[in-house]
Structure 1
């Protein structure tokens, strides 16, 4: 299950498929508070195997457009749709069934800008195709000893600054064996 919430304008009509990708891409037009969170039952995964959880995102630009502002139409001036991602880093987190919590962060406007001053480690990411990137939320190993190893919980968020931001496309969340992630990164 994945829940996408925010305060602002979200252009979304996502329908989830089994692999947690959307049949339609979610576009964050203008938000000041963003949270995408979900959980997954680990009994559907192979015991003893290591997995990586990543969010598939694209920061995109386009000419001005029309959005709905509290029922009224409003024109966005000609500017790149991607804006506001330079003030606070986007955070990615994973909580394992045993309670281990991993958290990473990355500025989307300047991928090389350090986040250590904010108290985080840099989120690993991969360019996958045509501007799409996969940002890691964390890695985990499915316990072999239980019939029901529990759920993982994952999250992507930015709400600390209350600053308006937009132009982020979310295709979905991937849970892949780490061996496949390593192969794809090379």
Structure 2
């Protein structure tokens, strides 16, 4: 954990009807001083929407050779490389070669994020999905955060319903090809 990192605690009720995942989670996230609340919240959403056995947060923006979230099998092999924000093409290329599956979750405009990858080599780019949300959704959710948080995350038919500390929000979960 970085010096000056702020710890946020989340009590999460997760109901991902699309994938048949129902869990109660207690999560602690360290927000690096250079990390925005929107980025941290997108990391949390990526974790929840990708939740499976073996999932873990990494050091986030402080990690140079790992994504924000990754999934390992029981042998320690990386099975899912999950980036947040606007990762560079080199990281995507590396992650896509290392893991069975690569995904990106962004709080930014997906069309602008994709522009930075134009003409760059990314292994198996056609299989990588860039997930985004309706404009303002992540910022509104991040504005409702405290140090200790209760969160209900429900996903059905790619519609996300969220309650953050009593604030109710919803958004489509958009899937964008990166090429």
TM surpasses 0.5: no
Is the strand fraction higher in 1 or 2?
A: 1
Higher relative contact order (CA 8 A, sep 6+): 1
Is the helix fraction higher in 1 or 2?
A: 2
**Taking structure 2 as the reference length, what is the TM-score of the superposition?**
0.31
**Taking structure 1 as the reference length, what is the TM-score of the superposition?**
0.30
